[in-house]
Every structure is written in C-alpha cells, then in structure tokens.
Copies of this chain bind each other. A is one copy, B any other.
Amino acid sequence: MHEDFLRHALRLAAGNARFGKGGPFGAVVVMDGKVIGEGVNQVTPANDPTAHAEIVAIRDACQRLERFELRGAAIYSSCEPCPMCLAAIYWARLDALFYAATRQDAARAGFDDEFLYRQVPLPPDERSLPSMRLLGGEGEEPFRLWLASEGRVGY
C-alpha cells in the first residue's frame, strides 16, 4: 500500500524529469486510501521557487478539501523533503511522511537540500544569507493586535 503510493509519486517525478518541465520531484497526499492531492516540481515552468512537489501537492489537497490543514492524511514524496517542504508538512499537520531518495541523492543531482539542512539550524549571523534584525519593539505590535482580535482564526 505505502509502496504503491510512493511509486505514484516516483512516476510523477520521472515524468517531470523526462520531459524537462521542472525538477525531478513528485509527491502525493493520501487520505483514507485515496489520493487527494498531487504535485510535481514547477519551479522553472511556473516561475515560482516555492513550487516544490510537496508544496504543490499540499496546496492541491487543501484546495480540493477546502481546508487549511490535512490531519488524517499522509504525504508520499519521491525524495526526502527539503527544509522548506518539511516545515510545510508540519504546518499542514500531516500525519506521516514516506519518501524514497535522500537529501544526499538530491545533492548529487545538483540540488541544495543538504546545504539548506546545514544552514537552517545556524544562528542567523552564521548563515550564508546576510540577515539583520531591526525595530525590535515595533515588531511586537502585530502580535498584540492579533491577540486582541476577537475574530482571529488560529492555525
């Protein structure tokens, strides 16, 4: 069962790789034994650096279900998710992750997944991305407004 859904994701990845429409990645979201979302990498054809297969599949499932989270569902990805997609899987509240290739396989094919896994845990001033914190006090104002808003919908 798990292997079947993962092969579905691998077929999507292979098709994308073969026809050069985007990176060699595919993913499916499954709930109650049915595919409820599909995605292939669309970074270059869609001009969207966030359009990784997992992100596309999560967005697809959420649009179909008209929900902003996917409790009760699992994601099957052709490759271990990069940190962007891993965090997206948490935010989507997915129950489980199944994958085939590893971040090291992705790195050998020229993708930054392994590099990003080393960057994310670093303190901001030790990362290769220059970053700076400014306006500390003012930064808390949106949260004060949020906590005071009676109609807020948490996630």
Contacts and interface: CB of A to CB of B under 8 A. Distances in A.
Interface in A86-129: 86-102, 105-106, 108-110, 112, 116-117, 119-121, 124, 129
Tally of this chain's copies: 2
Contacts of A93: 49
Given A25-B142, A50-B58, A133 B80 contact: yes
Nearest to A145: B17
A58 B62 contact: no
Q: Helix, strand, loop or mixed for chain A's interface?
A: mixed
Interface string A130-146: 11111110111111011
**How big is chain A's contact interface, by range?**
35 or more
Contact of A109 (B87, B101, B124, B146): B146
A44 B149 CA distance: 15
A89 B17 contact: no
A28 interface: no
Given A43-B68, A143-B105, A155-B44, A100 B136 contact: yes
Interface of A: 2-3, 6-7, 10, 13-14, 16-20, 23-26, 43-44, 46-50, 55, 58-59, 62-63, 65-70, 78-80, 82-102, 105-106, 108-110, 112, 116-117, 119-121, 124, 129-136, 138-143, 145-147, 149-155
